[in-house]
Structure 1
Amino acid sequence: MKEYRIYLLLFIAVLIVAACQHRPKEPEMREQVKQDEAIEVDKESNEVKPFEVELMDQEGVEVGTATFVEDEDGVHIAVNAHHLIPGEHGFHIHEKGICETPDFESAGGHYNPEGKEHGFDNPRGPHAGDMENLEVNEDGIVEQLVINNQITLEKGKPNSLFTDEGTALMIHSNPDDYVSQPAGNAGERVACGVISKKKK
């Protein structure tokens, strides 16, 4: 009888030890620490986060967006727009952040802080706001990445897009010929977007 009790006590002791060894850990606290550390890294980083610009047509209807982010090779502008006329379209940054319909003349001329002439094929150019033409598909949609290495998103720089008057993104009706003054013979302004980091 005594041996039975001893074996029973030993068996219970083994179960208790095993249960303690297999006791689940508490990963939630460790995971929370990792998340907090990641947040601190983001706060200390100087990286400019992407922001989006809404593009509207001459009637004030939204026809797409352009996402801006700065990288080592310049400012990347990812255009995703629709309901445009198929073909090539001039694509520029203008000097004022005002998009008043229907003609968008309120946006002024091309963004040109260095006082150059228009056009990639012009030895005295180009404007900082000059960019390659957009290629709109037959269905009226364009999804295109344009890189501009003449501008920055960093405030306070001479070529920053964030000036006192602001700047605007513009799509024209015709292609830019990259040489004619003052805007490459690109025709009407058919879509415009105010460049701003402010939430709407």
Structure 2
Amino acid sequence: QPRGLGHAIACARGAVGGEAFAVLLPDEIMGDSSLIKQLADQYEATRSSVVGLKRVPREEVSSYGCVTTTAAPDARGIVQVTGVVEKPRMEDAPSDIIIIGRYVLDAGMFDVLDALAPAPSGEIQLTDALLARALEGQLTGIVSDIERHDTGTPFGWLEAVIELTLKREDVGPRLRGWLESRFR
């Protein structure tokens, strides 16, 4: 039975050991791998957990974890995260900055996850663990403009398939022609 993303990550403790580790959610497709490298570099510089972040239209924040920060991002997009809210209502969202499915987490995150009580849903929420780290001053984020596709919804999946297929040299022109023929 699913017990939440936090529980799934906690189950990896034996495989990860005492090292920092990356989490890449498979339903979030990024345009390239540059963000995970930036997160790893930031972890190396601070030795604290780092999350990938993105600004989105306000009406989208209720589908994601949303953060508060101490200040605007620096020139590299880095912010100190001070709060995390899981899927807030649009009118209650503390910002328009969401967590996207890329993380580099410190090994101590396993202890934080183990200490969490389940959410009302019965799940162990990663956002609760991230909030704990944020309140300790141990969570930074990188606000990125990376191309991102959320395939966790039917429309998001369709959008990703079409957009990414259009970029392919082998089938993109054929798909483009087919789409254009449908809208003439």
TM-score (structure 2 length as normaliser): 0.25
Does 1 or 2 have the higher relative contact order (CA < 8 Å, sep 6+)?
2
Higher strand proportion: 1
Which of these two proteins has the greater Rg computed from alpha carbons?
1
Higher helix proportion: 2
